[in-house]
Amino acid sequence: MIILLTSVLLIILLSRVTEEVVKIPFALALIIFSYLLRLTFPEIFISLGANFDEILHLMLPLILLPDLLGLTVEEVRRHVWVFLYLAVIAVAASIGIATGITPYLLPDYGFTAGMLIALFAMLMATDAITVSSLFSRFTLPSKLKIYAEGESLFNDVTALIIFYFIALPLLTGGDVTLAGINIVVFEVLTYSVVVGLVACGLGYFALKMIKNPVEQFIIIYLVAILSFVLAEHWHLSGILATVAAIIGLKYITTREIVAYSIDKSATPIKDPNSYYELVIELIKRVPALTPRGFIAYKQEAHYLGLFANAVVFISMANLLDFNRILTYWPEILVVFILITLIRALFVFPFITLTSLPKRWAAVLTLAGMKGGLAIIMAHSLPETFAYREMFEAIVIGNVLLSIFLYSFLMMAYLHYHHEGFENDRREQDPEPDLEELARQFQQIVEKNPITHLYIPSVFEEIVGNEIGRATRYGMELSMVMLDTGPKKEDGSSSKDLATLAEIVGDETRASDLSGHHGSRGIGIVTTNTNADGAMILVRRIQDHAKKVGLANRVRFGISDLAQGDTTEILIEKTLASLEEVDWSQRTEETDPSMA
């Protein structure tokens, strides 16, 4: 076991380094290194390959958690018709079209409708893991990322329902009617959401009682895995249950934080001597999470998801049987071309009708990468099924082709059109994001009445929110810290701070966020900006400060957001970069503004 764990960690490290140096997506590097290590030491990964289904079921909640923590109820509500089209209508129609065309493309086989529905239901389940990993390497419009990642989450539900409740009954000789299908689909969707909401409620009350950050993160993970396990146990959709549980938990805790921030005055307890009423009132008055909430926990979820991702792809690499894949390579290639063309058939009209940039169509088409869920469904085929070996080979072959070919094509396409996507991001992202931030901050933030900058505790919350947003959308972020020196008895330090706050307000952009850190420091979060851009801002502030005689009493520090940085780390890095100043010399200098 220790050798297996060491091998997994080594592969993760090599894959991460390869991703940074050679720019090969993490998932691709994992499969390559895993397969090479398997060829060299075949005995190491025997247990992973033999237990792939169980491993994926164990890791799936961990893999889904980072994306779900970044997805909000507002985003789902805003784009519900897009998700309905891409993840439900397009998936069901694609399976129907592929089922009708395939007998003409592969006439040598006596495929029935049930067989083909099963095959294409497996191949319509896309992989949110690889899509998110690939998108994190590029700065893309947030709407494009939401469409691709949201579709990858929700179309799995459609594919699973069609596979387990339509295709498998047809394969085993069951009677499937349209009325029966409608009832089954309604029951699966409803009961899956109910299971997720029950897990959500249990997690919410647990978060009310337990306030340690580590234990709270464990609760959030338990909510994800409990909803998934219960739904799968009752033959429902574990993915849909997990989505409902985490988004629901995020929704109610966020609403609670906003309500608590608006009205912190609590009504008196009616009966202080009633233990029951006292407990209920305390639960009501104590928010389940702080305003940093899920944003802070998303960073921890990212690391666990990275490990879970690695285990799944390493296990997948140990399922590869190239002899079988080579045996069925014509069928694999025919099916791969067919599902690619059908996906494009539904994506391009959608882009045209919604007046989105045409370049988005290729990205959404290539975002149809297959993953471990397709392999799990392939393993669920009956042992007596005549074409089981062929279908498994076709599924694994298409998983490999889509991960490798789609990934390299998308990387080349995004590099070639990077200026166009950058323009799309600038045109589409700023206004909605700023409006949404304004609505949030208007209710939950407090400002210093003199400087009109956010107070330290609120500023830290804002930094956490911006780190989460920058991480999700792959945007640049940097921080500037300004310091006016030790407090002076004559009160001039307070005047310095107030003057500096006015300068910061004049020189920063609407998208930059400023607040206090400590009693005399001002922090600025510069969005969509690296350290070089932040340095330009600092020079402007210095020039402005010099005109009012304040430049000789201000020092500054700058740092970039690096992968893995939390709020505390980014602030500490910026403070550590503050220039060294001999304040005893500076305070002796004459300041015209104070004369």
For position 553, what pLDDT does the model report? 66
Query: Measured between alpha carbons, how far is residue 95 from residues 20, 92, 149 in Å?
Result: 38, 5, 21
For position 370, what pLDDT does the model report? 86
For position 335, what pLDDT does the model report? 95
The larger pLDDT score, comparing residue 293 to residue 387, is at 387
Tell me which residue has tokens 């592929």.
98
The larger pLDDT score, comparing residue 312 to residue 137, is at 312
Task: Provide the pLDDT confidence category of residue 283 given band limits of 50, 70 and 90.
Answer: low
Instruction: Report the phi/psi class of residue 509: left, alpha or beta, with left for phi > 0 and alpha for psi in -120 to 50.
Output: beta
For position 408, what pLDDT does the model report? 87
The larger pLDDT score, comparing residue 350 to residue 497, is at 350
For position 191, what pLDDT does the model report? 92
- What tens digit of pLDDT does each residue of 447-504 get? 776 777 887 877 888 888 888 778 766 788 899 988 776 555 444 456 777 888 888 8
Buried b (16+ CB within 10 A) or exposed e, 496-510: bbebbbebbeebbee
Which of 102-106, 128-132, 283-287, 480-484 reaches the highest mean pLDDT?
102-106
For position 298, what pLDDT does the model report? 67
Work out the percent of the chain whose per-residue pLDDT is above 70.
81
- What tens digit of pLDDT does each residue of 47-85 get? 666 677 777 777 878 877 777 776 777 778 888 899 999
For position 58, what pLDDT does the model report? 78
pTM of the prediction? 0.67
Instruction: Give the pLDDT mean for 335-363.
Output: 93
Tokens of 91: 């998936």
Q: Strands, E, within 260-305: which ranges? A: none
Instruction: Give the pLDDT mean for 305-330.
Output: 81
Q: Do 474 and 139 form a contact (C-beta atoms < 8 A)?
A: yes
DSSP 396-431: HHHHHHIIIIIHHHHHHHHHHTHHHHHHHHHHHSHH
